[in-house]
Structure 1
Amino acid sequence: MNPSTTRARLVVDELVRCGVTDAVLCPGSRNAPLSFALHAADAAGRLRLHVRIDERSAGFLALGIALRSRRPVPVCTTSGTAVANLHPAVLEASYAGVPLLVLSADRPPDVIGTGASQTIEQAGLFGGAVRLAVNAGVDGDPARGRAAVDRLVAAATGASGGPPGPVHLNLPFAEPLVPDGPGEAPAGRPGGEPRTRVAPVVRQSEPLPLDPAAPTLVIAGSGAPDDLLDLPVPVVAEPAAAAWPAAVRTGPWLLGASPALRPAQVVVAGRPTLHRPVQRLLADPDVAVHVLADPRGMPWADVAGSVRAIGSLPPLRPGRSWTDRWRAADAAAADALDKALDDPAAPGGLRIARELVAALPPGAQLLLGSSNPVRDVALAAVPRRDLTLLANRGVAGIDGTVSTAVGAALVHDGPAYALLGDLTLLHDSTGLVIGPDEPRPDLTFVVLNDDGGGIFGLLEQGAPEHAGAFERVFGTPHGVDLAALCAATGTGHVLVDVPDVAAALAPAPGLRVVEVRAGRGELRQGHARLRATVGAAVAEAL
């Protein structure tokens, strides 16, 4: 058996022994040894292989599988720009703490810098975004090769002591690149028994120096720990946070709505990134800001530089008046919000978010696109304990969201859905391209099509004084026929109005798009009216 085939089989064998159950592969010549090895492992039932033709989508597919399963997932590419196309997924995995394994095939070292085709300097390509990078030699001792794979998996999962995240194994392969015979079992460690998986390191920390009786608010963002569901204080949580099912429904609307709701101290869990009122609260010098230490060792959030201490959450004993005020304000705000959203003239994204979350079957998974969809759910939906909500909030880009949703759906045991905007769908339209021999989930994309970037209308550039430049450089209308796009990729499609979204969620096989069209010209004014309505209701209640 030639050296390249031997090495590729050894790498794949050790990955399986380290607990890898799914792998993503992109076609190429230089990574042919790994392609054959992964195909053989799939045929033997040792792992499940997913083949994609677009490296950027493939990276996010692997990320989605890892995000939902919490297992390490490799994505394998050929050399050159193919590797560079994984960079967006690597960055998201890095900031979200997702165990993504990059396996890049490379040319032999003596060819680098000679002008050979599809050849770049791949060693160190991802810089500080990866937890560990190994640039292997052309030949090597099998035992050392297995040990390198073990170190990479440990670094990716956090078992080596650092925070979990992406790693990079760069593998130069010399010709011949295809097997020259059936070969032998991979060498390096006798027996081929599965490795005992090492659990990620859980870090302990001292309790925060809080006043347990002071008016306290917990702010939970993506990456917050799972044990914040039954706290005796109000929780304002983003949908991707594990604490969202126990959150104050109208929390984002209530921040800053009344002095009576202003806390003396705030505890931040995870990375809150959605709401500007949250950032204003955390920057308030009269509010004591504390942070829960991440048990995985991920960095803490401190955008305003206001954090006083990092540690674990001690028992809290807030006064009844504090919690009663928040309950009364939430009830009044929710009632006013629902009445306003019943009006067909209310912002379509908020109406869709409310109806969609309420209509999902128990056990469903919902992946939320960045920009408006995740914010719409945060602002309008009623939190539920029987759903799994996911989002790419590490870097919060829109790239790769379709593929992330596909990957997460492939490992979710239940109905799967995604809520996206039209630009997010178009940005990863190749994520809809799934070959006839590939595992295909049953996944429904609910897409709000407002023909452009609706979120910018809510930001500073959406103000009336910028109207002359807004539509072309921020609104970016595209005019794409989503039904035709779906037809081209073999994706089911249905066009519905907002009141019919719930009826369109009945289970269906394969991928499909439920398109809901809406305008965005009145989005800014619609949100302003809702803020005024909710604010008036809160003022009256308090």
Structure 2
Amino acid sequence: MESQGQINGSWAEALIGGLAAAGVARAVISPGSRSTPLALACLRHPSLSCRVLLDERTAAFFALGLARAEGRPVALICTSGSAVANWHPAVVEADLARLPLILLTADRPPELQDCGANQTIDQRGIFTAQLRACHLLPPAEVESDWLVHLAARAVSQSLWPLSGPVQINVPFREPLLAPSSQSAEWGKSGPRVVLPELLPPVAEIARLADLCGDARGVIVAGAEPLPAEPIVRLAAALDWPILADPLSGLRFGTHDLSRVMAAADTFLRGGALAAEWVFRFGAFPVSKPIATWLKASEARQVLISPDSRWADPQRAAEIVFHADPGAFAEALTGVVRRPAPRGWQTLVRTSETSALRLAARHQPPEAGALRSVLDFLPEDGLLFVGNSMAIRDLDSFSGTVAKRLSVLGNRGASGIDGNLASFFGAAASGRYGAAVAVVGDLTFLHDLGGLAAGQGINAVICVLDNGGGAIFEHLPQAGLAEFEAGWLTPQKADFAAAARVWGHAYHRVDADRFDAALAEALDAQGVTILHFPIDRAASVARHRALWAGAQSL
């Protein structure tokens, strides 16, 4: 008869082996007792790359960054109790950003639930609103072969029909391990899952081509990576401009950039763009002026969404195509016969040129740092951009760059939590020639624990330190007597000491020294933190001057 420890081991090995066979290649583990069978199975599996991170919150955001970079499910493992709750912010982001995570939550068995047992909480509904599926396993049993098929199903559910997190709650009885445990034979696999390609209906594409022919239209490429080549070919066929969010991937690359506009956040503050049609791809854009223009516009709007999520917060879409963005663009390009009226593209390009010149005249120091990062990053480099002012300054001042770059950010819930850990997770994927994060001071301080995830990774963190939440300087609460205490919240922190805790290099740099320091940091081994203090009052003044000037464009 098998001991309980042997049963637990076989149970965990069947589950982990099934996940690996279904395509899971990475696991992020936080140490704990109740999760021991799962952790051991991962660490012993020959095809799983494992990362062990002490803090569950950091681990979850690290896994999120891996999933964002690779587009594949990542297994996340923790012990029972409050450890599970520390995942919640990252699970919220994974839900809203549609990122596949397999959440393996170790648990106490039923007889220890609801009776005051140590380190025991109700884990069954903790992520209910964010999950694509939740599998509540019984305590480990002798018969475990069926778990291989359950694992394949969980991987499928994390990818289709709407990518996102899936929880598998795994209770174990003690003893958790057999006195001597042998490595498993990894051979069993569940069904091979083939995901669909969402093609738009031919008749509907032909009808749309007839409707929008000869029209003044705009393509809005939103705040998530999109297939650049098909979309720019569609723009060429229609002769429409593309208002490209910095996270869309369309501003940076070797594709045709002639119709890609990077200054709409500036020139739309004047409100002038009389489009008749708007095709909107991807998540809603970062830019508030674009959002304001979309809401006020009388243009007929078409939303192209690759899954079942309804991404129309303004309720402005006249047509919603649930189709792969690249497939939609290619299908429509093939039947477009009548481009926009002559002069439409030139009109928008003139607004773009004027906005870029205005931005250059009122460029704050943050903009110079961002442009340097874009210039110094090598081909196929990664720029991870923090929320609040960092992403907005990238939107306003990046322009376009004829170089393949990946720009990522946590825009699902747009929080400042976990940004450093997510950056390190993306960098750890090995997909990028170099990796740089640009974050504000509060974003950096909010995730000091995330610095632990940078060990063994070559990366640069640029901290734009404007002395607190400067984004609130541009909102109505800036006029309140309680503004500094309640919203700006400047922090007294030793950034150099934070770097030393984790063995990272640290340099405080000014504008004159920034380029040289960045070049040195990109050539260095390990993590380098470049701390760039900014005169907040001067920066705010330059932003306001830009936005005031934009009203007359």
The TM-score with structure 2 as length reference comes to 0.88
Work out whether residues 369 and 419 of structure 1, in 8 Å CA contact, stay in contact via their aligned partners in 2. Answer: yes
User: How many Å separate the matches in 1 of 2:368 and 2:319?
Assistant: 39
Does the CA-based 8 Å contact 1:370-1:396 persist in structure 2?
Answer: yes
C-alpha deviation, 1:124, in angstroms: 2.2
Please say if residues 64 and 407 of structure 1, whose CA atoms lie closer than 8 Å, have aligned partners that are also in contact: yes
Change (3 A) 1:223 1:320: same
State the partner residue of 1:407: 425
1:251 aligns with 2:269: no
2:314 corresponds to which residue? Answer: 304
Structure 1 residues 106 and 98, CA, compared in 2 at 3 Å: closer, same or farther?
Answer: same
Give the one of 445, 449, 454 matched to 1:430.
449
- Partners of 1:516 and 1:11 in 2: how far apart? 47
Does the aligned pair in 2 maintain the 1:105–1:170 contact within 8 Å? yes
Residue type at the aligned position of 2:12? A
The amino acid of 1:148's aligned partner reads L
Distance apart, 1:370 and its partner CA: 0.9
Tell me by how many angstroms 1:225 deviates: 3.5
Contact 2:241–2:261 (CA under 8 A) maintained in structure 1: yes
Structure 2 residue aligned with 1:398, among 410, 413, 416?
416
CA contact (8 A) 1:9 1:34 kept: yes
CA distance in 2, matches of 1:234, 1:460: 33
Report the equivalent of 1:241: 248
Structure 2 residue corresponding to 1:526, chosen from 529, 538, 542: 542
Q: 425, 433, 446: which one pairs with 2:462?
A: 446
Q: Deviations over 1:437-496 (max 9, x none)?
A: x7x22110111012211111122222xx32x11101100011111111111221111111
Q: CA deviation at 1:197?
A: 5.4
2:407 — aligned with what? 389
Residues 17, 195 of structure 1: 8 Å contact kept: no
Distance 1:503 1:197, change over 3 A: farther
Matching of residues 256-335 of structure 1 within 5 Å? 256-257=269-270, 259=272, 261-284=273-296, 286-292=298-304, 294-295=305-306, 297-311=307-321, 312=328, 314-315=332-333, 317-335=339-357
Q: 1:392 to 1:184 in 2, by over 3 A?
A: closer
Which runs of structure 2 are paired with 1:296-375 in the superposition (5 Å)?
297-311=307-321, 312=328, 314-315=332-333, 317-341=339-363, 347-375=364-392
Amino acid in structure 1 at the alignment position of 2:372: E
1:476-534 Cα shifts (integer Å, max 9, x gaps): 01111111111122111111112432222232111111110012234443212112334
Q: What CA deviation, in whole Å up to 9, does each residue of 1:401-441 have, x standing for no partner?
A: 10100010011231111111111111111111149xx7x22
Structure 1 residues without counterparts, runs of 5 or longer: 342-346
Separation of aligned partners in 2, 1:222 and 1:100: 21
For residue 167 of structure 1, what is the amino acid of its counterpart?
V
Matched, 1:493 2:500: no
Most deviating of 324-333 and 475-484: 324-333
What does residue 344 of structure 1 align with? none
Task: Point out the more displaced range, 401-410 or 205-214.
Answer: 205-214
**Partners of 1:285 and 1:361 in 2: CA distance:** 39
**Cα distance in 2, alignment partners of residues 219 and 271 from structure 1:** 10
Could you tell me how far 1:243 is from its partner in structure 2?
2.6
Give the one of 142, 145, 148 matched to 1:143. Answer: 145
Report the counterpart of residue 70 of structure 2 in structure 1.
69
Deviation at 1:200, TM superposition (A): 5.3
Preserved CA contact (<8 Å) 2:440 2:465 = yes
Partner of 1:447: helix, strand, or coil?
Answer: strand
- The separation in 1 between residues aligned to 2:175 and 2:436, in whole angstroms, is 44
Structure 1 consecutive aligned stretches of length 4 or more whose deviation exceeds 4 Å: 193-197
Query: Which residue identity is paired with 1:134?
Result: H
What does the per-residue CA deviation read over 1:23-64, in whole Å, with 9 as the maximum and x for residues that have no partner?
1000111111112222222xx4x2111111111110010010
Report what 2:198 is aligned to.
Answer: 202
Query: Shift of the alpha carbon at 1:119?
Result: 0.5
Q: Using the TM superposition, give the Cα deviation of residue 203 of structure 1 relative to its aligned residue in structure 2, in angstroms.
A: 5.0
RMSD (Å) for aligned C-alpha atoms? 2.1
The change in CA–CA distance for 1:196 and 1:151 in structure 2 (over 3 A counts) is closer
| Maintained 8 Å contact 2:148/2:190 | no
Number of residue equivalences: 514
1:6 pairs with 2:10: yes
Distance in 2 of aligned mates of 1:37 and 1:273:
42
Cα distance in 1, alignment partners of residues 167 and 362 from structure 2: 50
* % identical equivalent positions: 31
- Any gaps of 5 or more consecutive residues in structure 2? 322-327
**Could you say which residue in structure 1 is the equivalent of 2:28?**
24
Shift of 1:193: 6.2
Residues in 1 aligned to 2:75 and 2:510: alpha-carbon distance in whole angstroms: 40
